[in-house]
Amino acid sequence: MRPSVGGRDLTHFGGIFLIHRFCRKLRIRTHLRKTVRIDQRVSRYQPADLIMAIIYALIVGIPRLRKTKILQGNGAFQRIVGLESYPHASSLRRFLKRASFESNQDIGRVHDHLRRALFNLPHPRSSLLFDFDSSVLTVYGNSIEGAKVGYNPHRRGARSYRPLLCFESRTHDFWHGILRPGNIQDRTGTVDFLRACLAKIPPRLYRIRLRADAGFYCREFVEALEVAGIGYVIVAAGSSRMRRKLGALRYRPFRRDWAAASFRYQPYGWSRPRRFVAIRYRLPDKDTAQECLFPSRRYGYRVYVTNLPLRAGKVWYFYRGRANVELNIRELKEHFALGKIPTNSYMGNQVFFTLLLLAYSIINWFKRLCLPASYQTATVETIRTDFLVLPARLVTTGNRNVLRLPAEYITQQAINRIVGRIEGLRPAE
């Protein structure tokens, strides 16, 4: 067999035409072109084209800008997504570094507009369940703006960013996020973060509930939730005074080796008592005494503050559903390059963070609105393997472009069904 190079009608990202068609139906590029303001020098690429180039690379699983070189010689990919050529990594990096705070806000507004248009699809919703969380993104290098030494469970003493993130639990929709320096405490700015999330709720009456970890446990945050009429369950940070109280409670079993108790408690500095729920569970014999509050009794404890009218054991079951947000963040880190910081500019990295979350949302909306029911809980890696990373040849037949996909990877019936669902959507005006 004699090899040769130079073919530009082949791609192994053949399924990207589905995402491109979905984005075109939502008019994402048009919204970006009308909304995003970026001062740039004369360039062959419009800002909206550079933004979509980054988003498409993230969607197909290219983790770093320097690895987008694989798309520069992929003529079929470029024609499928409507680009005359794919920008060099240096062009993408310069674009990110030229972006301003206003540019980032503009991209966020496009994201919010699309989410509002799609949130009640395919079925109207009457309630919202927010999951709040924070994460740590370790960075390497001393010249990266905004990266500071702070709490870092993965690499002690390393510089990092510390983003806050909010997801809607039932739809898995990303709701709001900010990238912060690594030395900022979790509780700093949480009330402003909450207000930003509430400002994005569609104009309709919703029952709103919220789950959050101990990083959001503070008087100001709890009071803001109560003023807004939001039901909440938040992990409580332990104190010696609270631990003494836990030992005197009467616990009722609700599952094997687990028991729950409810009590009123006023933490130091709080204006009045709140309802707290304590969960007691028996530790395995292999656990050491340092891993539980009362070593002699071999118990561990979890404590939550809540205003929900649920029995104590039900509060634990309700909070346990928050594991979804951990999966969302892990997917962002492992499959959407959240941990791959592309520039030494803080604002450039913030814009990349915003684009990455938009790419996540596009996949989530596509999954919810266009794919079969069996894929509603699928990971992005599964969606890439089954629908996006497909070998294909772009040919011209009768003055029409035809994308030929192998039947061994996907059936014509499956393609027609997905395309039909895309075409059935209303454009996001």
Are the CB atoms for 191 and 179 separated by under 8 Å? no
pLDDT tens, residue by residue, 64-76: 898 998 898 888 8
State the Cα–Cα distance between residues 386 and 384, nearest whole angstrom: 6
Q: To which H or E segment does residue 323 belong?
A: helix 323-335
Q: Does residue 288 share a domain with residue 240?
A: yes
User: What band does 7 get if pLDDT is binned at 50, 70 and 90?
Assistant: low
Are residues 307 and 346 part of one domain? no
Tell me the whole-structure pTM to 2 decimals. 0.91
Domain final residue pick, 289, 319, 349? 319
User: How many other C-beta atoms lie within 10 A of the C-beta of residue 214?
Assistant: 15
In a domain, 371, yes or no: yes
Biggest CA-to-CA distance, the chain: 82
State whether 246 and 298 are in the same domain: yes
| b/e 344-370 (16+ beta carbons within 10 angstroms → b) | bbbbbbbbbbbbbbbbbbbbbbbbbbb
Residue-wise pLDDT for 214-252, tens only, equals 999 999 999 999 999 999 999 998 778 888 888 889 999
Residue 229 resides in a domain: yes
Q: Say if residue 315 is in the same domain as residue 363.
A: no
159 pLDDT above the threshold of 80 = yes
262, pLDDT greater than 90:
yes
Instruction: Classify residue 18: in a domain, yes or no.
Output: yes
Could you list the residue range(s) of the whole structural domain that residue 402 is in? 10-102+340-423
Tell me the average pLDDT across 88-108: 93
Indicate if 221 and 312 belong to the same structural domain.
yes
Note the pLDDT of residue 285. 63
pLDDT tier at 295, thresholds 50, 70, 90: very low
Same domain, 43 and 90: yes
Domain-located, residue 200: no
Share of the chain above pLDDT 90, in %: 59
* Contacts of 259 by beta carbon, 8 Å cutoff, 6+ apart: 251, 252, 253, 279, 280, 281
- 289/357 same-domain check: no
CA atoms within 13 A on the CB side of 318: 24
Is there a single domain that holds both residue 311 and residue 379?
no
In a shared domain, residues 348 and 403: yes
Give every strand in the sheet of 392-397, ordered side by side: 10-11, 392-397, 400-404
pLDDT tens-digit profile of 387-419?
999 888 888 887 788 888 888 888 899 999 999
Residue 37 lies in a domain: yes
More confidently predicted of 41 and 297: 41
Residue 74 lies in a domain: yes
Which of the listed residues 319, 353, 374 is the one where a domain comes to its end?
Answer: 319
One domain, residues 315 and 411 = no
Domain membership of residue 119 (yes or no) is no
β pairing state of 258-265 and 274-282: antiparallel
- C-alpha span between 98 and 89 (Å, rounded): 14
Over residues 191-219, the mean pLDDT reads 92
**Residues 218 and 310 reside in one and the same domain:** yes
Q: 309 and 230, same structural domain?
A: yes
Q: Is position 72 within any domain?
A: yes
Helix, strand, coil percent values for the chain (each to nearest 5): 40, 20, 40
Domain final residue pick, 263, 284, 319:
319
How many domains in the chain?
2
